[in-house]
Amino acid sequence: MEENIFLIENKLFTISKLCFLLSKGIYSTDESNLRKRIDSKVRCD
């Protein structure tokens, strides 16, 4: 049970980190590809 919570929190952290990079406009090719996959699921505020 705790592992699931950890995985969810880890995903949320990764997404917030991704949003931070997006807002700063710092993006490598891999991050841009990751953004395309995540954009359909998550929107950054």
**How far, in Å, CA of 6 to CA of 21, rounded?**
22
Query: What's the Cα-to-Cα distance from 31 to each of 3, 6, 7, 11, 40, rounded to whole Å?
Result: 26, 23, 20, 15, 15
Return per-residue pLDDT of the chain as tens, 45 residues. 567 878 878 888 888 887 777 766 655 556 566 666 666 555 554
pLDDT score, position 41: 58
- Domain segments of the chain: what residues? 2-39
Rounded to the nearest angstrom, the gap between the alpha carbon of residue 12 and the centroid of all alpha carbons in its chain is 7
pLDDT score, position 35: 64
27 near 21, Cβ under 8 Å? yes
